[in-house]
Amino acid sequence: MIETGKIGMVPLKSVIVEDRSRIELGDIDELEANMKASGLISPLAVRDNQDGTYRLLAGGRRFTVLAKNNVEEIPVRIFDREISDLEMKIIERAENFYRKDLEFWEFDKLTLEIHRLQQSIHGVKAPGPSGTGWSTEDTGDMIGGMSKASVSQAIKRAELREALPEVFDNCKTAADALGVIKKMDEALVKQTIAKHLETKKDDGKMLSQLSKCYIIKDFFKGVKEIPRDIMHLVEIDPPYAIDVKEAKKREGESQYNLQDYNEILASHYMDGSPDGEWLGMKTVFKECYRVMAEHSWLICWFAPEPWFNDIYNAILKAGFKTTRLCGIWTKGSGQTKRPEMHLPNSYEMFFYAWKGRPAIAQPRASNDFRYAPIPSQQKVHPTERPIELTTDLYETFAFPGSRVLIPFLGSGNGLISAYNLGMSAVGFETGKSNKDSFLVKVHGMQSV
């Protein structure tokens, strides 16, 4: 709850105007005539900087008129405590409900900023009626009862305008801008934004660093360039060879998310394909063992039906030690293609294996990791796992400063987890569209 602040008079020259959501001030002459006839009805809103200056929070158009008329002191509503970025955006947005409408692109930008800020505070809304976090519906409710679809469209327009403003040069309305986006398919929008981010010189450290860690290269070729005995943790999330692509299509997964997903035929899964494009899971484990340091951990996700014994034996043959008592990711809700015959599956399994005699970094009460899955409409990759899950995994098995290898990057969430934990990670992925989505996501995270 934001308090109302106190009313006072301050010197106009002490008010600092910066970082305003409104760029176009509209018809200032009309406003000036109205203020001369009726006076200044509502005070401006400012934050006390505690140094004799005030930052303008709301009332940019009125401030412009007052400055133009050389008014020395102005009435203001003073907030004398530290106001967060989110609160400043809320104050400005609320102010503009009752003033000249924002230009559509100003509104889009402000909507995106508020949405990002709220998700940075509350997290992304988990699925289900009891899920916690912040959703597009919450953003819509907060800024005037907008529908989920309207908020999503505003966010999409703002994200693309951040990357390529010239695309919207001839757009006069939100409908014009939406028409431009509809002419670009989902993949092209992501490519455009990602290309812009990769070439920007002033992006934050996180985006710059993680972009270099996300390597577009086949794992079997890229791993040859890694020296032996240097990695402390490896997380393998390979194709499952269970026709995931078809299953995700039936579940309504975005075709953009699926276009670069490379499924492997079951007959080639363990030993490799005849054309040499896929060298098999046995080779994956062999190469990972080579690059892993003494006393290090390996995590490998897999489909227990039908691969439990094959994966278990291949891990042992590569030189690792492991246990059949796997780690479990419990999702809370399950799926089945045959509800009349099969119980819905609500978990995934991973082997955790070790080279040498490593110690678990943070002992746990169980082998169960409980996190809600990412809703399909929010995924950037069909088998994407929550960042909270990968962060918990890495923190369990590795210490800050550890080097992490992720052979099949997919969504890239492992890179984000490692970065947040003070670990250095690197990984490989063949699908450029996956990296495009990753860069857009990281840019959004560091913009809040």
The predicted structure's pLDDT at residue 90 = 61
Q: What is the share, in percent, of the chain residues with pLDDT greater than 90? A: 36
Residue type, 86: L
pLDDT confidence bin for 83, thresholds 50/70/90: low
Distance CA 304, CA 291 (A): 26
* Domain count for the chain: 3
At residue 199, the pLDDT reads 63
* Angstrom distances, CA of residue 90 to CA of 53, 94, 113, 188, 222: 21, 6, 10, 33, 47
Based on the number of CB atoms within 10 Å of its own CB, is 209 exposed (0-12), middle (13-18) or buried (19 or more)? middle
pLDDT confidence tier of residue 370, bands split at 50, 70 and 90: very high
Residue 1 lies in a domain: no
Q: Is the pLDDT of residue 92 over 60?
A: no
Average pLDDT over residues 346-368: 96
At position 160, the amino acid (one-letter code) is: L
* Nearest-angstrom CA–CA distance, 315 and 338: 32
Contact between 26 and 39 (Cβ < 8 Å): no
Query: Would residue 47 count as lying in a domain?
Result: yes
Per-residue pLDDT tens over the stretch 393-428: 999 999 999 999 999 999 899 999 999 999 999 999
Residues 6 or more apart in contact with residue 444 via CB below 8 angstroms: 116, 159
Q: Report the alpha-carbon distance of residue 397 to residue 402 in Å, rounded.
A: 10
**One domain, residues 131 and 147:** yes
Using the predicted structure, report yes or no on whether residue 153 has a pLDDT greater than 70.
yes
Same-domain check for residues 272 and 389: yes
pLDDT digits (tens, 9 = 90+) for 114-149: 788 777 777 777 655 566 778 888 888 776 677 888
Cis peptide before 306 (omega within 30 of 0): yes
169 and 232 fall within a common domain: no
CATH number of the domain at 335, please.
3.40.50.150
Per-residue model confidence (pLDDT) at position 389: 96
Q: Which of 203-217, 244-258, 341-355 has the highest mean pLDDT?
A: 341-355
Q: Give the C-alpha separation, 162 to 111, whole Å.
A: 13
> Is the model more confident about 385 or about 195?
385
SS3 293: strand
216, two tokens: 């577009």
State the Cα–Cα distance between residues 149 and 184, nearest whole angstrom.
18
Q: From CA 232, how far away is CA 236, in angstroms rounded?
A: 13
Mean pLDDT on 288-306: 96
Same domain, 126 and 271: no
Which region among 129-133, 166-170, 357-361 has the lowest average model confidence (pLDDT)?
Answer: 129-133
Q: Is residue 173, in this structure, part of any structural domain at all?
A: yes
**Residues 224, 217: Cα–Cα separation, whole Å:** 11
271 and 293 housed in the same domain? yes
Same domain, 143 and 87: no
Same domain, residue pair 134 and 243: no
Q: Which two tokens stand for residue 264?
A: 């492997």
Decide if 198 is inside a domain: no
User: CB neighbours (10 Å) of residue 231?
Assistant: 25
DSSP-assigned states of every residue in 303-371: -HHHHHHHHHHHHHHTT-EE-SS-EEEEEEEEE-S-TTTSPPEEEEEEEEEEES----SS--S-SEEE-
CA angle, residues 89, 136, 447, in degrees to nearest 5: 50
Q: Mean pLDDT, to the nearest integer, of 10-38?
A: 71
- Report the pLDDT value the prediction gives residue 88, as an integer from 0 to 100: 62
Report DSSP state, residue 124: B
Task: Considering only residues 38 and 10, tell me which one the structure prediction assigns the higher pLDDT.
Answer: 10
96-105 pLDDT tens trace: 544 445 678 8
Mean pLDDT, all residues of the chain: 81
Q: What is the pLDDT of residues 262-284, one digit of tens each?
A: 678 999 999 999 999 999 999 99
Per DSSP, 71 falls in state: -
Residue 271 burial by Cβ neighbours in a 10 Å radius (0-12, 13-18, 19+)? middle
- Residue-wise pLDDT for 47-58, tens only, equals 888 888 888 887
The pLDDT assigned to 249 comes to 47
Tell me which DSSP letter residue 375 carries: P
- Residue 353 pLDDT exceeds 90: yes
| Neighbouring C-alpha atoms within 13 Å toward the C-beta of 30 | 4
* Helices and strands in the chain: count of H runs, count of E runs: 17, 14
Q: Strands of 44-48's sheet, edge to edge?
A: 6-11, 73-79, 44-48, 54-58, 15-16
Instruction: Name, in order, each residue with C-beta under 8 angstroms of 424's C-beta and a sequence gap of 6 or more.
Output: 213, 401, 402, 403, 404, 418
Q: Which of 50-59, 81-90, 209-218, 434-443 has the highest mean pLDDT?
A: 209-218
* Tens of pLDDT, residues 307-331: 999 999 999 999 999 999 999 999 9
pLDDT at 243 over 90: no
Write out pLDDT tens, residues 177-187. 877 776 665 56
User: Residue 430, class by beta-carbon neighbours within 10 Å (0-12 exposed, 13-18 middle, 19+ buried)?
Assistant: middle
pLDDT digits (tens, 9 = 90+) for 198-213: 666 545 578 888 889 9
pLDDT of residue 248: 47
Structure tokens that stand for 58 in this block: 């709301």
What is the reported pLDDT for 150?
85
Question: Please, is 67 exposed, middle or buried when counting C-beta atoms within 10 Å of its C-beta (0-12, 13-18, 19+)?
Answer: middle
Residue finishing a domain among 34, 65, 97: 97
pLDDT of residue 253: 47
Three-state SS letters, 205-273: HHHHHHHHHEEECCHHHHHHHCCCCCEEEEEECCCCCCCHHHHHHHCCCCHHHHCCCCCCCHHHCCCCC
- Residue 72 inside a domain? The answer is yes
202 located within any domain: no
Q: Which residue has the higher pLDDT, 88 or 393?
A: 393
Res. 290 pLDDT band, cuts 50 70 90: very high
The angle at the Cα of 363, spanning 361 to 368, to the nearest 5 degrees, equals 115
Q: Would the pLDDT of 299 be above 90?
A: yes
Percentage, residues of the chain above pLDDT 70:
77
Is the CB of residue 127 less than 8 Å from the CB of residue 375?
Answer: yes
Q: Which of 54, 72, 97 is the last residue of a domain?
A: 97
**One domain, residues 19 and 128:** no
> Is 246 in the same domain as 170?
no
Query: What does the pLDDT read at residue 257?
Result: 45
- Asked if residue 2 has pLDDT above 60, the reply is no
pTM metric for this prediction: 0.60
CATH number at residue 38: 3.90.1530.10
The answer to whether residue 446 sits within a structural domain is no
Domain-terminating residue out of 70, 97, 124: 97
Based on the domain organization, do 291 and 313 belong to the same domain?
yes
- Do 103 and 70 contact (CB within 8 A), yes or no? no
Tell me the residue range of the domain where 379 lies.
Answer: 207-431
* Same-domain check for residues 50 and 158: no
Q: Looking at the structure, tell me whether residues 136 and 13 fall in a common domain.
A: no
Residue 436 within any structural domain of the chain = no
What local confidence, expressed as pLDDT, does residue 26 receive? 58
